[in-house]
Amino acid sequence: MFEITSAIVTNFVDILLVAFFTYNIYKLLRHTRATPVLIGLGILLAISILSRIFHLETLNWLFESVSGYILIAVIVILQPELRRVFYKLGQTKWYRFFFQIRDVPVEEIIQALLQFSEEKTGALVVLVNRIGLRHLSEAGIQLQARVSRELLVAAFYGENPLHDGAVLVEGSIILSAGTYLPLSSSTQLRKTHGARHRAALGISEESDALALVVSEEKGYISACYLGVLKEKLDVIKLKSLLSAFNNNKLNEEWDKLFG
């Protein structure tokens, strides 16, 4: 009797753990290119199970022969998404203790974003988190200057050569301006989203950076983090996100604000 009860409890815990991890991985990968790939894998898995149940030897042999190649292909295709999953899993307190980021000047950045919003000036400011982006900054215009509202505004002013790319900020230093970033193909993006939103979401898929983008058409301020885009942020949310960024609690604040 005891053995039967123990087996039931073990199976129940097993199912709960699988459901928990599956749900959280789904939350991280939804609205990305991983979704159709995972659906395709699910279909192949279902066919493989059916081939075993109905003893379809040829089909079963085919799946066993190519399964290893399919796994490698999935890892290559979904490399950014898998990186984001493992990064999220690694966000523990001991990790923060060893990897402290440098504080960004909150007021200077917010004042610049508000001016962009009011004047409907398109802008993209990327705050480097724990994953370094020096390799991207080297392709832009090197500045290595202290962050200020005036300098941020000047970078995106008019038709100057810097206004098309992104400004990369690491701590209180602007690493580079006019920096071109990888573009996202996420289903979160609409036809009305331009290259800046695609670049902001793209860099958030490739790293743990916090990307802040201002729409040139409507002046909306948006934020991208870990492959998720949130639009129409007000001053209160901006301050909350930047303060949490400086306190190494961006994950918690992001989940608190947006779920």
Domain ranges of the chain: 2-96, 102-258
What would the pLDDT profile of 137-173 be if each residue is shown by its tens digit?
888 899 999 999 999 999 998 777 777 889 999 999 9
Predicted local confidence at residue 243, as pLDDT: 95
Is the model's pLDDT at 2 over the cut of 60? no
3-class SS at 221? strand
State how far the Cα of 152 lies from the Cα of 176, in Å rounded to an integer.
11
Is the model's pLDDT at 32 over the cut of 80? no
Residue 225 carries which side chain, given as an amino acid letter?
Y
Q: What is the mean pLDDT of residues 191-201?
A: 91
pLDDT range class, residue 234, cuts 50, 70, 90: very high
State how far the Cα of 101 lies from the Cα of 14, in Å rounded to an integer.
37
Q: Which CATH number fits domain 102-258: 3.30.70.3040, 3.40.50.720, 3.40.50.300, 3.40.1700.10?
A: 3.40.1700.10
- What tokens were used for 163? 């206004």
pLDDT range class, residue 15, cuts 50, 70, 90: confident
Q: What is the mean pLDDT of residues 97-104?
A: 67
Among 223, 225, 214, 242, which residue's Cα sits nearest to residue 113? 214
Is the model's pLDDT at 87 over the cut of 70? no
pLDDT above 90: percentage of residues in the chain: 40
Q: What is the mean pLDDT of the chain?
A: 83
What would the pLDDT profile of 20-30 be if each residue is shown by its tens digit?
777 766 666 66
Query: Which position has the higher pLDDT, 114 or 83?
Result: 114
Distance of CA 213 to the CA centre of its chain: 14
- Using only C-alpha atoms, the chain has a radius of gyration, in whole angstroms, of 22
Predicted local confidence at residue 66, as pLDDT: 80
- Strand ranges for the chain from DSSP E: 123-127, 141-146, 166-170, 173-179, 210-214, 221-225, 228-230
State how far the Cα of 231 lies from the Cα of 224, in Å rounded to an integer.
9
State how far the Cα of 178 lies from the Cα of 141, in Å rounded to an integer.
6
Predicted local confidence at residue 169, as pLDDT: 96
Contact 218, 192 (CB under 8 A): no
Please give the DSSP secondary-structure letter assigned to residue 186. -
- What tokens were used for 170? 């690491």
Among 198, 172, 209, which residue's Cα sits nearest to residue 83? 209
